[in-house]
Structure 1
Amino acid sequence: MLKSGLARASCQFRRNEVRVGTKAGKRVTAADVARSLGLSRATVGFVLNGTSEQRISEATKERVLAEAARLGYRPHTAAQALRRGSSKLVLLVVPDWPVEFSISKCVEEASHALEEAGYSLVTQTRHPAGTARPLWELLDPEVVVGFTPFTPDELTAMRGCGITKIIPGSSLIPQQPDPLGLQDGPRLQVEHLRGRGHTRLGFAATADPRLAGLVESRLRTAQETAADLPPLVVRHVDDHADAAGQAVHDWLDAGVTGVVAYNDESAARVIRAAVRAGHRVPADLAVIGHDDNPYTELFVPSISSIRIDYAGLGRHLAALALHEAAGQPLPAGDVDAAATVVARESTEPSGRGR
C-alpha cells in the first residue's frame, strides 16, 4: 500500500508541475490568439479544439488557424487529454538492447500503424541502473506496451499512476517469458543444421552484458531442441580481440561442424575467423545467424540466418494497443513473429543458398 501511495503521489506531483509551469516558458495560449484577432476566447477555443457542434464561418476558422500558426500556438496536450479523456499516447518500453535493424523496424511499423489511427508512439529504453523517472509518470500514456515482461514493481507503479492498459500484464496477454513468440528462431537454427547432417554443434554467444538475458533465452531453446545430441559447446566470440579465432579452434578440436550463432554479428565474427584460419565454410564449419540483417547477403560467404517478421510484429503490437485504447478488434490468431530460415552459402554444401 505504501509503495502504491508513493507512486500516486509522484504521478500527481509531476502532473501539477505541468499545470503550473507554463508561465515561465511564455507559452502562446488560445487567449493570446483571441486577443490578437479581437475575437472571444470561446470562439477561438471552439476553432482550435475542433468543436464541430458550434456554427463558426469558414472565414473565421481560417483567420484563427492562420493567426495561431503565426504566433506559434501549440495545443496543450495535458489539457486536451483532460477534455477528451484520452492522451492519444502509447508508450513502448524497450530493453537496454543495442538498437539494431530488427528493433528499429518493429518500432517503425508500430509507429506508422498507430499514427494512422490518430495515436502517437513514444519509446523509452529501460536501463537497469537508471535513475530517471519512467515516462509513464510524466506523459500520462493511454497504453503502456513492453517489449519484454514488466516486473511486479513496475506494474504496481503504473497502476499507482492510474494506468490500467498494460501489455503484457493485462488480461489480454498474461505475463510470460516469451510474450511475443520470438523463441522459434533458435529451434529452427538447430533443425536447419541437423537437416544438413550436423550433430555436434557449437553456440556463438556475445559477451555484451545488456544482452545476457536474451542470449541465455536463445541458448536455452537451442539446448532444448538439441537435447538428444551431445551438449552444445558454448563460446563467447567478442569478449577479446581473438575470441572468435579461439572459439573456432575450440570447436574444431571438439569435433563441432555446425554453429548456432546468437545473432548475425556473432555469425559474421565466426565466419571471418574461420576463413582467416584457412578453414572452409561450410565444408569444415557451417554457421547460421539470427535476425537476417541486410549485410548477411553482402558477406562472403553469405550468411544463413533466421528471418523474423519484425514489421509484422510491430503492426501486431500496435493492434494490441489500439484494442486496449479504442476497442478496435484484436488481430486474428496468436502472437506470431513468423520465424523462417533463409539458407545461404554459410550452411549450404552446394554453395548456393535458397
Structure 2
Amino acid sequence: MGAEAGKRVTAADVARSLGLSRATVGFVLNGTSEQRISEATKERVLAEAARLGYRPHTAAQALRRGSSKLVLLVVPDWPVEFSMSKCIEEAAHALEEAGYSLVTQTRHPAGTARPLWELLDPEVVVGFTSFTPDELAAMRGCGITKIIPGPPVDSPAPDPLGLRTGPRLQVEHLHGRGHTHLGFAATAAPRLAALVESRLRLAQETAAAAGLPPLVVRHVDDHADAAGRAVHDWLDAKVTGVVAYNDESAARVVRAAVRAGHRVPADLAVIGHDDNPYTGLFVPSISSIRIDYAGLGRHLAALALHEAAGRPLPADEVGAAATVVARESTGPGRAGR
C-alpha cells in the first residue's frame, strides 16, 4: 500500500506501521551510526519505508548538511504572561541579530500534534524546562544533536526561572521584616501544578532552615471567595506574612484582606513573584520578586548561538538575577502574634 494521494509518507507513518518508536525509525532512516540497532530491525524499517512510499525530505537533508538558521524554543503549558512574553521577545531579537529565527511550541501533555522538531528541522532545540528521555531520543532520532538542556548532567543553567532563588528570597524578605508565621498562596490550576509545587517546596525548605514553622498553604483561585477564606484561616492561625505563588495570587490576597477590613501590611504582609507591571499600581502596591526575564531571553539565545555557531558561552548567572522589590504590601511583623 503506497501513500495516499497528496499525502507525504513520514518516518512517523513508518514507525506506526511497524509498531516501533519514532526514534528508532528515525535513527535508521537518517543513517545515525552512533545508535546500536540490529540489522534485522534496520532491514524491517527500510523495507516498510519502501513499501509505504517513504521518500527522504531532501530540503531537510540539505539543511542538516548546512544550517537551517532555526531555533526551536519549547515552552511549558503555562499562561504566556508578561514575564514569559518578555523573555521570548528578547530571545527572538538576540537571535535575529545573529541571523537566526526563533520558533516556539507549547508542550501540551495531552496534545496529539507532532512536535515541531519533526517538521521544521531546527538547528537547535531549547527547552524552558528539562526534556524527558523519550523526547531527547526522539530529537536525536530526527538527527537533532544540539539540545538545551540535554541530559541532567549537561544542563547549562542552574536556575533559569527563579524556581529556587525567588521563593527563597520571598521567605527571607518576610522573615527579615520580623514575620515568623507564614502562609503560602497557591493556585489550583492543573497546568501550573508542577511550578507551584516547585516554588512551595523551596519556600518550605527555606522556612525550615530558618527555624520557622511550616507555611500554611491555601488556594486563592477566584471562585467562591477562596481568597477571603484563606485570609480568615491565616489570621486565625496567627499568620502575619504570606508568600504568594505569583503576583496575581498576591493581588487576590491583598484585595480580599482589604475588603474584609484588614490592614496590609499591618495585619497581613504579602509578597508576590514575577514583578508584573500592575504590582506597582495596586493600592497598596505589592512587593514582589523581580527576575530579569529579558536577560533570561538573551541568555537562552546565547546558549543556542553557542551550540549553533560556536559563540562563547554566556556567564552562568541567570538565577542570581532575582531580586526583591519592596513595596507597601510588606512591612515589619507584629511581635507576639
Question: Secondary structure in 1 aligned to 2:145?
Answer: coil
Pair 1:108–1:11, CA change in 2 (3 A): farther
The aligned residue for residue 256 of structure 2 is: 273
2:178 is equivalent to residue 187 of structure 1: no
Amino acid at match of 1:297: G
Partner of 1:112: 93
Contact 1:10 1:137 in 2 (8 A): no
Show the 5 A alignment for 1:10-159: 16=55, 78=60, 81=63, 85-159=66-140
The residue aligned with 1:256 is 239
Cα distance change, pair 118–193 in 1 and its aligned pair in 2 (3 A): same
Show the counterpart of 1:235.
218
How many residues were matched structurally? Answer: 292
Give the equivalent residue in structure 2 for 1:29: none
Aligned-pair distance for 1:231? 1.2
Summarize the Cα distance change of 1:113–1:176 in structure 2 as closer, same or farther, 3 Å threshold: closer
Q: Which residue is equivalent to 1:37?
A: none
CA distance in 1, matches of 2:197, 2:157: 16
For 2:330 and 2:125, the matched residues in 1 are separated by 41
Which whole-Å CA distance do the structure 1 matches of 2:265 and 2:172 have between them?
A: 16
Relative to structure 1, is the Cα distance of residues 176 and 313 closer, same or farther in structure 2, using a 3 angstrom cutoff?
A: closer
Tell me if the contact between 2:295 and 2:318 (Cα under 8 Å) persists in the aligned partners. no
Give the distance between the partners of 2:152 and 2:272, measured in 1 at CA.
35
Residue 305 (structure 1) aligned to one of 288, 304, 314: 288
Equivalent pair of 1:306/1:342 in contact (CA under 8 Å): yes
Equivalents in 2 of 1:280, 1:17: separation in Å?
68
Give the structure 1 partner of residue 195 of structure 2: 214
Percent identity reads: 82
Is 1:149–1:179's contact at 8 Å kept on the other side of the alignment?
Answer: no
Q: What does residue 265 of structure 2 align with?
A: 282
Aligned to 2:328: 345
Would you say 1:6 and 2:25 are equivalent positions?
yes
Unaligned runs of 5+ in 2: 1-14, 32-48
Q: Helix, strand or coil: the match of 1:158?
A: helix
Residue 17 (structure 1) shift: 8.1
State how far apart, in whole Å, the 2-side matches of 1:210 and 1:97 are.
6
CA distance in 2, matches of 1:232, 1:214: 17
- Give the one of 275, 288, 307 matched to 1:324: 307
Aligned partners of 2:159 and 2:319 also within 8 Å: no
In our comparison, the structure showing a higher alpha carbon Rg is 1
Give the alignment's TM-score, normalised by structure 1.
Answer: 0.77
- Structure 1: tracts of 5 or more residues without a match: 20-76
Please give the alpha-carbon distance, in whole angstroms, between the structure 1 residues aligned to 2:315 and 2:199.
Answer: 27
Q: Which amino acid aligns with 2:110?
A: A
Query: Which secondary structure does the structure 2 equivalent of 1:226 belong to?
Result: helix
What is the aligned-residue RMSD (CA, Å)? 2.7
**Counterpart-to-counterpart distance in 1, 2:323 and 2:225:** 31
TM-score (norm 2): 0.80
Read off the aligned partner of 2:144 and give its amino acid letter.
I
1:260–1:288 Cα contact (<8 Å) kept: yes
**Residue type at the aligned position of 1:344:** R
The equivalent of 2:41 in structure 1 is none
Distance 2:156 2:282 in 1: 39
Confirm or deny that 1:166 pairs with 2:147: yes
Which secondary structure state, in structure 2, belongs to the residue aligned with residue 345 of structure 1? coil
SS at match of 2:321: coil
SS at match of 1:211: helix
Give the letter for the 1:346 counterpart.
S
Distance in 2 of aligned mates of 1:96 and 1:304: 26
* Secondary structure of 2:283's aligned partner: coil
- The aligned amino acid for 1:90 is V
How far apart are the structure 2 equivalents of 1:90 and 1:291? Answer: 26
Which deviations, in whole Å up to 9, do the C-alpha atoms of 1:242-284 show, x marking residues without a partner? 1000000000000000000000000000000000000000000
- SS at 1:234's partner residue? strand
User: CA 1:94–1:11 in structure 2 vs 1: closer, same or farther (change >3 Å)?
Assistant: farther
Q: Comparing both chains, which one has the higher relative contact order based on Cα–Cα distances under 8 Å and sequence gaps of 6 or more?
A: 2
Cα deviation, residue 10, structure 1: 8.7
Q: Using the alignment, how far apart are the partners of 1:10 and 1:214 within structure 2?
A: 38
Q: Distance in 2 between matches of 1:277 and 1:347?
A: 18
How far off its partner does 1:230 sit?
1.2
Q: Deviations over 1:22-50 (max 9, x none)?
A: xxxxxxxxxxxxxxxxxxxxxxxxxxxxx
Quickly say closer, same or farther: Cα 1:306–1:243, change in 2 above 3 A: same
Q: Indicate whether 1:246 and 2:229 are aligned.
A: yes
Deviation per CA, 1:138-192, whole angstroms, max 9, x where unpaired? Answer: 0000000000000111001001111110000069833898565542000000000
Q: Is 1:206–1:239's contact at 8 Å kept on the other side of the alignment?
A: no
Which residue number corresponds to residue 3 of structure 2?
A: none
